[in-house]
Amino acid sequence: GDVLLPRPCPASWIPQARLLGRPAYQVPTPAECGGVPDPYALLETVRRVRAEGGRPRLLLLSVADDPTATVAPPELVREACEAAVDEGLHIVSDETWRDTLHRPHDTVLVSPAEMCPDDVTVVSGLYGALTPAAWPVAVARFPDTARSATRHARTLDVLTALGASVAGPVAAAAAHALREPDAVTERARRSAALYARLAAEAHRAVLGWGALARPPQAGRHLYADLGPLRSRLAARGVTDSLELEEFLSARLGSPAPGGHRFGDELGALRVRLGTGALLGTDPERQAEALTAPDPLELPHIASALSIFRAALDAPR
């Protein structure tokens, strides 16, 4: 059947749907967050797709979202999930970033699987919080139903046919991380706290520049809307998100993917700004930042933040 996705959504989702030969339709998200579609827009999209002869069967969402770095409130998650289930959709909840909350004691994250356990498959890339980003390992949790048992078996068949196995050493390390020993959970906690500091500083810089951005709540990035700076950017030859991507990537010295990569309109001046680049590429310096009393005062991070601020100030 057809796939429904929030707009914006992770950059890989639409290409993956196309690779499977499935039509993909994006649904607007509410103003307060990304990752979960507006329930009324979802219902309207389902009805429109069916009226056009489509077969909507699957909804993908992410409560702790990439690219917007927001966490959807539980009431919105419930309304969207109930709307999807009432329309006969199965839900896939990407929870890669759920363990990277910037303020875990102040942010309520509820999985769709807690609300609709028989209708939600949970997937998670372990690179979100537990393993190095380059490790190709993820897990999926299927509902305990007969239909999902069939879906689980088919998924294993496809993965086997593709040769999508996890290397032995990586599998052993991932299994160890999934048991959540104290050393792993402590490092994940410190990492989330570090990225919270970096994201808050980057968010202040973006707002000070005159752009718009929701406060980041999870993950390692924020999603900025530079629409208020359109005339200033146009004077520098930046009129869409592709040109904005090229402009900011060159000035920051690191990738700044435009909103078109996440399903946003090309004409919208939106961009995802990563905070990981602020730590640099030296593993020793990255480790130093995890234990520093004030990581923002470390010379390499202070320098990176200075470059970040200067790059954003450039269009003025």
- Amino acid identity, position 176: H
pLDDT at 315 over 50: no
**Structural element, H or E, at residue 224:** strand 221-225
- Predicted local confidence at residue 179, as pLDDT: 94
Strand 212-213, strand 221-225: pairing? antiparallel
3-class state of residue 190 by DSSP = helix
pLDDT mean over 145-169: 91
Q: What is the CATH number of domain 2-178?
A: 3.40.640.10
- Sequence ranges of the chain with CATH classification 3.40.640.10: 2-178
Looking from the CA of 208 toward its CB, the CA atoms found within 13 Å total 13
pLDDT mean over 58-79: 97
Query: 64: which strand partners?
Result: 71
Please work out, in degrees rounded to the nearest 5, the angle formed at the alpha carbon of residue 50 by the alpha carbons of 49 and 51: 90
- Sequence ranges of the chain with CATH classification 3.90.1150.10: 183-313
State pLDDT tens for residues 289-303: 999 999 999 999 999
pLDDT at 316 over 60: no
User: 244: how many CB neighbours lie within 10 A of its CB?
Assistant: 24
Do residues 304 and 280 touch, judged by C-beta distance below 8 A? yes
pLDDT mean over 183-189: 95
Distance of CA 299 to the CA centre of its chain: 29
Strand 138-141, strand 120-125: pairing? antiparallel
Do residues 25 and 45 touch, judged by C-beta distance below 8 A? yes
Homologous superfamily (CATH) of 183-313 is Aspartate Aminotransferase, domain 1 (3.90.1150.10)
